Structure 1
C-alpha cells in the first residue's frame, strides 16, 4: 500500500492525498509536478526511473479501503536535489523512455 507522502522531496511543497500535482516513481519517491517537469526532466534522482501521477486514496468508505481506515503517512522525506550527484543519473537516463531504462 502506498504511503502517500505529504510533501515534495525537493521543494517541500504540500502534496495532500487529493493533490493533482503529486508524482511518484516505482519506489514511491514523491515530487511535485513542477519539480518533475522543470528540475528533474522526468528522471528520478534516486533510482533513475520515470514518474507517474500518484493515485488518490478514496475518502468515502464504501469499501474498507479508504483513507479513514488506511491513513496517509505524515512522515516527510525532504532531500533537496544535489545537482552534482544527480548529473550522472540524469545523463544516463534523460534520453531514454522511462519504460526502457
Structure 2
C-alpha cells in the first residue's frame, strides 16, 4: 500500500491522501504538481526516476487507511 506522504518534499505544500496534485516516483518520493512539472521536469531529484501522478485514496479507503502524518523535506538545489 502506498504511504501517501502528506507534503511536497520540495516546497512543503500539503498533499492530503485524496489530492490529485501529488506526484510520486517508484520509491514514493512525493512532490506537488507545480514542483514536479516545473522545477523538477518530471524527474525525482532523489533517484532520477520518473514522477507520475499519485493515485488518490478516497472515501472509506482513506478513512480505513489514512495518509501518513510524517512530513519529508529534502533540500535539493532544484528546490531552491
Match of 1:55 in 2: 55
**SS of match in other structure, 1:20:** coil
Q: Is the 8 A contact 1:44 1:51 kept in 2?
A: yes
Unaligned regions of 5+ residues in structure 2, if any?
none
What's the Cα RMSD here?
1.1
Match of 2:65 in 1: 70
* Displaced runs of 4 or more, over 6 A: none
Larger RCO: Structure 1 or Structure 2 (Cα < 8 Å, ≥ 6 residues apart)?
Answer: 2
Mapped to 1, the partners of 2:27 and 2:35 lie a distance apart of 17
Instruction: Normalising by structure 2, report the TM-score.
Output: 0.89
Unaligned regions of 5+ residues in structure 1, if any?
61-65, 84-101
Match of 2:3 in 1: 3
Mapped to 2, the partners of 1:46 and 1:24 lie a distance apart of 11
Instruction: Normalising by structure 1, report the TM-score.
Output: 0.72
What count of residue pairs does the alignment treat as equivalent?
78
Mapped to 2, the partners of 1:80 and 1:31 lie a distance apart of 13
